[in-house]
Amino acid sequence: MNLLEITHRRKNPLSGDWVLVSPHRNNRPWLGATEAVSEHQLPAHDPSCPLCPRNVRANGEANPDYATTHVFTNDFGALTPATSEHSADYAAPSSLFTAEQANGECRVICFSPQHNLTLPELSHSALVAVVNTWQQHYVELAAQYRCVQVFENKGAIMGCSQPHPHGQVWAHPHLSSEIDQEDQQQLAYFQAHGRALLADYVVQEQQAKQRIVFENAHWLVVVPFWAAWPFETLVLSKDDVQHFGQLQQGQMEALAEALSVITTKYDNVFNCSFPYSMGWHNAPSNHNGDTDSKQHWRLHGHFYPPLLRSATVKKHMVGYEMLAESQRDLSAETAAKILIAASHTHYKAG
Protein backbone atom coordinates (compact mmCIF):
# COMPACT_ATOMS: atom_id res chain seq x y z
CA MET A 1 0.00 0.00 0.00
CA ASN A 2 1.48 3.34 -1.10
CA LEU A 3 0.32 5.84 1.52
CA LEU A 4 1.34 8.77 -0.71
CA GLU A 5 -1.33 7.89 -3.28
CA ILE A 6 -4.42 7.00 -1.24
CA THR A 7 -6.56 8.62 1.41
CA HIS A 8 -5.74 7.06 4.76
CA ARG A 9 -5.57 7.64 8.52
CA ARG A 10 -2.47 7.67 10.75
CA LYS A 11 -2.45 7.16 14.51
CA ASN A 12 -0.52 9.35 16.93
CA PRO A 13 0.90 6.93 19.53
CA LEU A 14 1.61 9.80 21.96
CA SER A 15 -2.02 10.84 22.16
CA GLY A 16 -4.02 7.95 20.73
CA ASP A 17 -5.64 10.39 18.26
CA TRP A 18 -5.91 9.84 14.52
CA VAL A 19 -5.25 12.17 11.58
CA LEU A 20 -6.90 11.85 8.17
CA VAL A 21 -4.39 12.22 5.29
CA SER A 22 -5.72 13.21 1.85
CA PRO A 23 -2.69 13.65 -0.46
CA HIS A 24 -4.80 13.92 -3.65
CA ARG A 25 -6.24 17.24 -2.44
CA ASN A 26 -2.92 19.02 -3.08
CA ASN A 27 -3.98 19.35 -6.71
CA ARG A 28 -7.04 21.48 -5.97
CA PRO A 29 -7.00 25.27 -6.58
CA TRP A 30 -6.64 27.49 -3.53
CA LEU A 31 -9.24 30.22 -3.08
CA GLY A 32 -8.96 30.66 0.67
CA ALA A 33 -7.94 33.58 2.84
CA THR A 34 -4.34 34.68 3.23
CA GLU A 35 -2.42 36.46 5.96
CA ALA A 36 -0.48 39.62 5.18
CA VAL A 37 3.30 39.39 5.35
CA SER A 38 4.81 42.12 7.47
CA GLU A 39 7.78 43.82 5.83
CA HIS A 40 8.23 46.25 8.70
CA GLN A 41 11.83 46.41 9.88
CA LEU A 42 11.96 46.30 13.66
CA PRO A 43 14.51 48.34 15.62
CA ALA A 44 17.10 46.68 17.83
CA HIS A 45 15.50 48.47 20.78
CA ASP A 46 11.90 49.65 20.96
CA PRO A 47 11.21 52.22 23.71
CA SER A 48 7.55 51.11 23.84
CA CYS A 49 8.28 47.38 24.20
CA PRO A 50 7.76 46.01 27.74
CA LEU A 51 10.35 43.29 27.11
CA CYS A 52 13.28 45.42 25.95
CA PRO A 53 16.11 46.23 28.38
CA ARG A 54 15.62 49.27 30.63
CA ASN A 55 11.95 49.70 29.66
CA VAL A 56 9.16 49.90 32.24
CA ARG A 57 6.51 47.17 32.23
CA ALA A 58 2.80 47.51 33.01
CA ASN A 59 3.33 46.87 36.74
CA GLY A 60 5.76 49.80 37.00
CA GLU A 61 8.91 47.67 37.26
CA ALA A 62 11.83 48.43 34.98
CA ASN A 63 13.69 45.67 33.15
CA PRO A 64 17.41 45.50 33.89
CA ASP A 65 19.93 46.29 31.18
CA TYR A 66 20.27 42.59 30.43
CA ALA A 67 22.77 41.25 27.90
CA THR A 68 21.65 37.64 27.28
CA THR A 69 18.36 36.22 28.58
CA HIS A 70 16.01 37.81 31.10
CA VAL A 71 13.19 36.15 33.07
CA PHE A 72 10.38 37.77 35.05
CA THR A 73 7.00 36.82 36.45
CA ASN A 74 4.28 37.39 33.86
CA ASP A 75 2.44 40.58 34.77
CA PHE A 76 -0.77 39.05 33.40
CA GLY A 77 -0.23 35.37 34.16
CA ALA A 78 -2.98 32.83 33.47
CA LEU A 79 -2.14 31.08 36.76
CA THR A 80 -1.95 32.70 40.18
CA PRO A 81 -0.28 31.48 43.38
CA ALA A 82 -2.36 29.39 45.77
CA THR A 83 -4.01 31.30 48.63
CA SER A 84 -5.79 30.01 51.71
CA GLU A 85 -8.62 32.45 50.99
CA HIS A 86 -9.84 30.32 48.09
CA SER A 87 -8.49 26.92 49.08
CA ALA A 88 -11.83 25.21 49.71
CA ASP A 89 -12.89 22.59 47.17
CA TYR A 90 -15.67 23.48 44.78
CA ALA A 91 -18.88 21.77 45.84
CA ALA A 92 -20.16 20.34 42.57
CA PRO A 93 -23.93 19.77 42.41
CA SER A 94 -23.26 16.67 40.23
CA SER A 95 -20.49 14.92 38.34
CA LEU A 96 -21.47 16.97 35.29
CA PHE A 97 -20.27 20.16 36.99
CA THR A 98 -16.79 19.14 38.13
CA ALA A 99 -14.24 21.86 38.84
CA GLU A 100 -11.06 22.24 40.84
CA GLN A 101 -8.83 25.10 41.85
CA ALA A 102 -5.90 25.76 39.50
CA ASN A 103 -2.86 27.67 40.65
CA GLY A 104 0.79 27.99 39.78
CA GLU A 105 3.30 30.37 38.22
CA CYS A 106 3.78 31.95 34.81
CA ARG A 107 7.12 33.41 33.76
CA VAL A 108 8.29 35.23 30.64
CA ILE A 109 11.69 34.34 29.16
CA CYS A 110 13.27 37.01 26.95
CA PHE A 111 15.61 35.20 24.57
CA SER A 112 17.71 38.23 23.69
CA PRO A 113 17.98 41.95 24.49
CA GLN A 114 17.64 42.68 20.76
CA HIS A 115 14.05 43.45 19.82
CA ASN A 116 14.48 42.58 16.13
CA LEU A 117 15.83 39.03 16.35
CA THR A 118 14.19 35.60 16.39
CA LEU A 119 15.59 32.20 17.41
CA PRO A 120 17.12 31.36 13.99
CA GLU A 121 18.92 34.72 13.97
CA LEU A 122 20.60 34.21 17.35
CA SER A 123 24.22 33.15 17.59
CA HIS A 124 25.04 29.65 18.81
CA SER A 125 26.17 31.01 22.18
CA ALA A 126 22.93 33.00 22.52
CA LEU A 127 20.87 29.89 21.76
CA VAL A 128 22.86 27.91 24.33
CA ALA A 129 22.00 30.64 26.84
CA VAL A 130 18.30 30.17 26.01
CA VAL A 131 18.53 26.39 26.55
CA ASN A 132 20.45 26.92 29.79
CA THR A 133 17.73 29.32 30.96
CA TRP A 134 15.04 26.77 30.13
CA GLN A 135 16.88 24.20 32.23
CA GLN A 136 17.47 26.56 35.15
CA HIS A 137 13.82 27.51 35.48
CA TYR A 138 12.58 24.00 34.78
CA VAL A 139 14.68 22.66 37.67
CA GLU A 140 13.54 25.42 40.02
CA LEU A 141 9.85 25.02 39.19
CA ALA A 142 9.88 21.20 39.02
CA ALA A 143 10.94 21.20 42.68
CA GLN A 144 7.57 22.81 43.48
CA TYR A 145 5.17 21.72 40.75
CA ARG A 146 4.32 18.45 39.04
CA CYS A 147 3.92 19.93 35.57
CA VAL A 148 6.27 22.50 33.97
CA GLN A 149 5.51 23.69 30.44
CA VAL A 150 8.15 25.60 28.46
CA PHE A 151 6.84 27.08 25.20
CA GLU A 152 7.06 29.85 22.61
CA ASN A 153 4.42 31.43 20.38
CA LYS A 154 6.09 33.09 17.39
CA GLY A 155 4.24 35.47 15.10
CA ALA A 156 1.12 37.60 15.32
CA ILE A 157 -1.00 34.92 13.60
CA MET A 158 -0.12 32.62 16.51
CA GLY A 159 -1.47 35.17 18.98
CA CYS A 160 1.92 36.56 19.98
CA SER A 161 1.31 40.10 21.22
CA GLN A 162 4.98 41.15 21.31
CA PRO A 163 7.53 40.69 18.48
CA HIS A 164 10.41 40.81 20.95
CA PRO A 165 11.97 37.29 21.00
CA HIS A 166 10.53 35.55 24.02
CA GLY A 167 8.82 32.44 25.34
CA GLN A 168 7.09 31.42 28.52
CA VAL A 169 7.13 28.79 31.22
CA TRP A 170 3.99 27.83 33.14
CA ALA A 171 4.08 25.53 36.15
CA HIS A 172 1.23 23.99 38.16
CA PRO A 173 0.50 21.04 40.46
CA HIS A 174 -2.04 19.40 38.14
CA LEU A 175 -1.08 17.46 35.00
CA SER A 176 -2.18 19.28 31.88
CA SER A 177 -4.39 17.27 29.54
CA GLU A 178 -1.63 16.83 26.92
CA ILE A 179 0.96 15.65 29.45
CA ASP A 180 -1.53 13.32 31.14
CA GLN A 181 -2.48 11.82 27.78
CA GLU A 182 1.16 11.35 26.71
CA ASP A 183 2.05 9.89 30.12
CA GLN A 184 -0.66 7.25 29.86
CA GLN A 185 0.18 6.34 26.25
CA GLN A 186 3.92 6.04 26.91
CA LEU A 187 3.39 4.04 30.09
CA ALA A 188 1.07 1.59 28.31
CA TYR A 189 3.66 1.10 25.56
CA PHE A 190 6.45 0.55 28.10
CA GLN A 191 4.40 -1.99 30.01
CA ALA A 192 3.65 -3.86 26.79
CA HIS A 193 7.15 -3.77 25.24
CA GLY A 194 9.62 -3.04 28.06
CA ARG A 195 11.03 -0.09 26.11
CA ALA A 196 10.27 3.62 25.86
CA LEU A 197 7.90 4.48 23.01
CA LEU A 198 9.95 7.44 21.75
CA ALA A 199 13.22 5.52 22.07
CA ASP A 200 11.82 2.91 19.67
CA TYR A 201 10.42 5.65 17.45
CA VAL A 202 13.86 7.28 17.08
CA VAL A 203 15.35 3.96 15.93
CA GLN A 204 12.52 3.28 13.47
CA GLU A 205 12.70 6.77 11.95
CA GLN A 206 16.47 6.33 11.52
CA GLN A 207 15.78 3.07 9.70
CA ALA A 208 13.00 4.54 7.52
CA LYS A 209 15.08 7.57 6.40
CA GLN A 210 11.99 9.35 5.06
CA ARG A 211 11.05 12.04 7.56
CA ILE A 212 14.30 13.07 9.32
CA VAL A 213 14.99 16.78 8.82
CA PHE A 214 18.13 17.03 10.99
CA GLU A 215 20.15 14.84 13.29
CA ASN A 216 23.21 15.31 15.48
CA ALA A 217 24.79 13.25 18.27
CA HIS A 218 22.01 13.90 20.78
CA TRP A 219 18.87 15.07 18.91
CA LEU A 220 16.63 13.99 16.07
CA VAL A 221 14.32 16.46 14.28
CA VAL A 222 11.62 14.67 12.33
CA VAL A 223 8.28 15.35 10.68
CA PRO A 224 6.33 12.79 12.71
CA PHE A 225 4.50 10.06 10.80
CA TRP A 226 1.26 11.27 12.44
CA ALA A 227 1.81 15.04 11.93
CA ALA A 228 -1.39 17.09 11.87
CA TRP A 229 0.02 20.53 10.98
CA PRO A 230 1.54 20.92 7.48
CA PHE A 231 5.17 21.40 8.58
CA GLU A 232 4.92 20.02 12.11
CA THR A 233 8.14 18.66 13.58
CA LEU A 234 9.15 16.68 16.64
CA VAL A 235 12.50 17.27 18.37
CA LEU A 236 13.52 14.07 20.13
CA SER A 237 16.27 13.31 22.61
CA LYS A 238 18.30 10.35 21.35
CA ASP A 239 19.63 9.84 24.88
CA ASP A 240 17.77 8.29 27.81
CA VAL A 241 16.59 11.67 29.12
CA GLN A 242 13.16 12.28 30.65
CA HIS A 243 13.32 15.99 31.49
CA PHE A 244 15.38 19.17 31.12
CA GLY A 245 16.99 18.72 34.51
CA GLN A 246 18.96 15.71 33.27
CA LEU A 247 20.60 17.42 30.30
CA GLN A 248 24.38 17.77 30.36
CA GLN A 249 26.15 20.72 28.76
CA GLY A 250 27.03 18.78 25.59
CA GLN A 251 23.39 17.81 25.11
CA MET A 252 22.31 21.43 25.55
CA GLU A 253 24.92 22.61 23.04
CA ALA A 254 23.60 20.03 20.58
CA LEU A 255 20.02 21.13 21.25
CA ALA A 256 20.96 24.73 20.46
CA GLU A 257 22.32 23.51 17.12
CA ALA A 258 19.15 21.55 16.36
CA LEU A 259 16.95 24.55 17.21
CA SER A 260 19.03 26.81 14.98
CA VAL A 261 18.76 24.41 12.05
CA ILE A 262 15.02 23.71 12.22
CA THR A 263 13.97 27.34 12.80
CA THR A 264 16.30 28.50 10.00
CA LYS A 265 14.83 25.90 7.64
CA TYR A 266 11.33 27.04 8.59
CA ASP A 267 12.13 30.64 7.67
CA ASN A 268 13.73 29.51 4.40
CA VAL A 269 10.71 27.50 3.21
CA PHE A 270 8.82 30.67 2.26
CA ASN A 271 11.50 33.32 2.92
CA CYS A 272 9.59 34.77 5.83
CA SER A 273 9.64 34.79 9.62
CA PHE A 274 7.87 31.44 9.96
CA PRO A 275 5.23 31.46 12.72
CA TYR A 276 4.72 28.54 15.06
CA SER A 277 3.86 27.37 18.53
CA MET A 278 6.68 25.34 20.07
CA GLY A 279 6.78 23.59 23.42
CA TRP A 280 8.61 20.99 25.47
CA HIS A 281 7.10 17.94 27.11
CA ASN A 282 8.96 16.73 30.20
CA ALA A 283 8.05 13.74 32.34
CA PRO A 284 5.84 14.73 35.30
CA SER A 285 7.96 15.89 38.23
CA ASN A 286 8.40 13.85 41.41
CA HIS A 287 8.53 17.06 43.45
CA ASN A 288 6.34 15.70 46.26
CA GLY A 289 8.44 12.65 47.00
CA ASP A 290 6.85 10.30 44.47
CA THR A 291 9.13 7.42 43.54
CA ASP A 292 7.32 6.45 40.35
CA SER A 293 9.74 5.50 37.58
CA LYS A 294 9.73 7.68 34.48
CA GLN A 295 11.56 5.15 32.28
CA HIS A 296 8.68 5.24 29.84
CA TRP A 297 9.28 8.94 29.10
CA ARG A 298 11.64 10.62 26.65
CA LEU A 299 12.10 14.42 26.59
CA HIS A 300 10.76 15.92 23.36
CA GLY A 301 9.63 19.19 21.82
CA HIS A 302 6.77 19.93 19.41
CA PHE A 303 6.74 22.58 16.66
CA TYR A 304 3.27 23.41 15.31
CA PRO A 305 3.54 25.91 12.41
CA PRO A 306 0.32 26.96 10.63
CA LEU A 307 1.66 27.94 7.17
CA LEU A 308 0.58 25.68 4.32
CA ARG A 309 1.34 26.79 0.75
CA SER A 310 3.11 30.12 1.08
CA ALA A 311 4.00 32.87 3.54
CA THR A 312 0.38 34.03 3.33
CA VAL A 313 -1.61 30.79 3.15
CA LYS A 314 -2.46 29.37 6.55
CA LYS A 315 -3.85 25.97 7.51
CA HIS A 316 -7.11 26.38 9.43
CA MET A 317 -8.18 23.71 11.90
CA VAL A 318 -11.92 24.11 11.34
CA GLY A 319 -14.98 22.13 10.36
CA TYR A 320 -14.03 18.46 10.23
CA GLU A 321 -10.85 19.10 12.24
CA MET A 322 -12.80 20.72 15.07
CA LEU A 323 -15.74 18.33 14.99
CA ALA A 324 -14.17 15.01 14.04
CA GLU A 325 -10.37 14.61 13.78
CA SER A 326 -7.33 16.33 12.30
CA GLN A 327 -7.00 16.26 8.51
CA ARG A 328 -4.05 17.14 6.27
CA ASP A 329 -3.35 17.17 2.53
CA LEU A 330 0.44 17.53 2.49
CA SER A 331 1.87 14.19 3.57
CA ALA A 332 4.47 14.06 6.34
CA GLU A 333 6.96 12.66 3.82
CA THR A 334 6.44 15.51 1.35
CA ALA A 335 6.72 18.09 4.13
CA ALA A 336 9.99 16.45 5.24
CA LYS A 337 11.40 16.67 1.69
CA ILE A 338 10.62 20.39 1.58
CA LEU A 339 12.25 21.01 4.96
CA ILE A 340 15.29 18.87 4.12
CA ALA A 341 15.80 20.84 0.91
CA ALA A 342 15.61 24.19 2.74
CA SER A 343 19.02 25.75 3.35
CA HIS A 344 20.83 25.73 6.69
CA THR A 345 21.82 29.35 6.00
CA HIS A 346 19.16 31.90 6.90
CA TYR A 347 17.70 33.70 3.88
CA LYS A 348 18.47 37.11 5.42
CA ALA A 349 22.15 36.19 5.55
CA GLY A 350 22.28 35.23 1.88
pLDDT in tens, 13-53: 999 999 999 987 765 544 445 455 655 789 999 999 999 99
CATH of the domain at 200: 3.30.428.10
Predicted confidence (pLDDT) per residue in 91-117, tens digit: 778 889 988 889 999 999 999 999 999
In a domain, 5, yes or no: no
Predicted confidence (pLDDT) per residue in 137-160, tens digit: 999 999 999 999 999 999 988 888
In a domain, 179, yes or no: yes
The residues assigned a catalytic role are 166
The CA distance from 139 to 252, in Å, is 14
One-letter amino acid at 239 equals D
| Domain count of the fold of the chain | 1
In a domain, 11, yes or no: no
Q: Would you state the pLDDT for residue 288?
A: 63
CA angle 50–59–66, rounded 5-degree value = 45
List, in sequence order, every residue forming a beta bridge with 307; answer none if it has no partner: 314
In a domain, 15, yes or no: no
Which domain covers residue 68, as residue numbers?
Answer: 45-79+102-349
Burial annotation 37-66 (CB, 10 A radius, 16+ → b, else e):
eeeeeeeeebeebbbbbebeeeeeeebeee
Average pLDDT value for residue range 219-224: 98
In a domain, 36, yes or no: no
Please say if the pLDDT value at position 242 is more than 80.
yes
Query: What is the secondary structure of 131-167 as a DSSP string?
Result: HHHHHHHHHHHHTT-SEEEEEEEESGGGT-S--SSEE
Average pLDDT value for residue range 116-126: 97
In a domain, 341, yes or no: yes
In a domain, 65, yes or no: yes
Q: Residue 246, SS3?
A: helix
CB 139 within 8 A of CB 245: yes
In a domain, 30, yes or no: no
